[in-house]
Amino acid sequence: MKDYLAKIIFLIHSVIVIFWIGLFFVPTRLWADKITFHFYLTLLIVANQFLWGLLIMPWTKKYRMICFLTTVNQLLRGKSISDEENYKHSFTKEFLGNFGITISHRFATIFTFTISTIITIQYFFFR
C-alpha cells in the first residue's frame, strides 16, 4: 500500500512540476494573467522548499531546500526524515532518471533557481 501511495505522490509531484514548467509554453494572448499566476506559483513552490527545509532541520541537523512532497514520498518509501536519502533526494533528478537522463543534485537546484529567476524577470519586466 505504501508503495502505491508513493507512486501517487510521485505522480502528483510530476504533474505539478510539468505544469510549472509548461506554463512557459502558454502564450499570454491565451491567458493574459499567466505571468502573474506563474510568478505566484513559483513563490509558493520555492517558499515551500525553504520553509520545509527549516522545519525539518531538528531531524536533519542541516539546512537543505526540500519539497514537502519529496519528504512524504521518501517516508512512504521507508526513509526517515533524518535519513540522507530524504533530505538529499531530488525529485528532478529522480524524474529525469526515469527517462535515462542523469543529473547532479546541484544541477537540479540550479535548474530550480534558474526557472525561478526567469519567471521573476518576466513578472517584473514583461507583464
Mean pLDDT along residues 93-113: 91
* Average pLDDT taken over every residue of the chain: 93
What are the grid coordinates assigned to 61, written together? 541537523
Residue 64 scores a pLDDT above 90: no
More confident residue, 106 or 19: 19
Q: How far is CA 87 from CA 4, 6, 53, 63, in A?
A: 21, 16, 8, 9
Q: Does the pLDDT of residue 86 top 80, yes or no?
A: no
Q: pLDDT per residue over 5-44, tens digit each? A: 999 999 999 999 999 999 999 999 999 999 999 999 999 9
Q: What is the pLDDT of residue 24?
A: 97
Taking 90 as the threshold, does the pLDDT of residue 117 lie above it? yes
Residues 10 and 7: their CA atoms lie apart, in Å, by 5
- Please state the rounded mean pLDDT for residues 64-93: 89
> pLDDT at position 89, please?
84
Q: What is the pTM of this model?
A: 0.89
Residue 78, sorted as left (phi over 0), alpha (psi -120 to 50) or beta, turns out to be: left
| 28 phi, psi to nearest 5 deg | -70, -20
**Is the pLDDT assigned to residue 87 strictly greater than 80?**
no
Q: What angle do CA 101, 106, 2 make, to 5 degrees?
A: 65
| Among 113, 124, 123, CA closest to 38 | 123
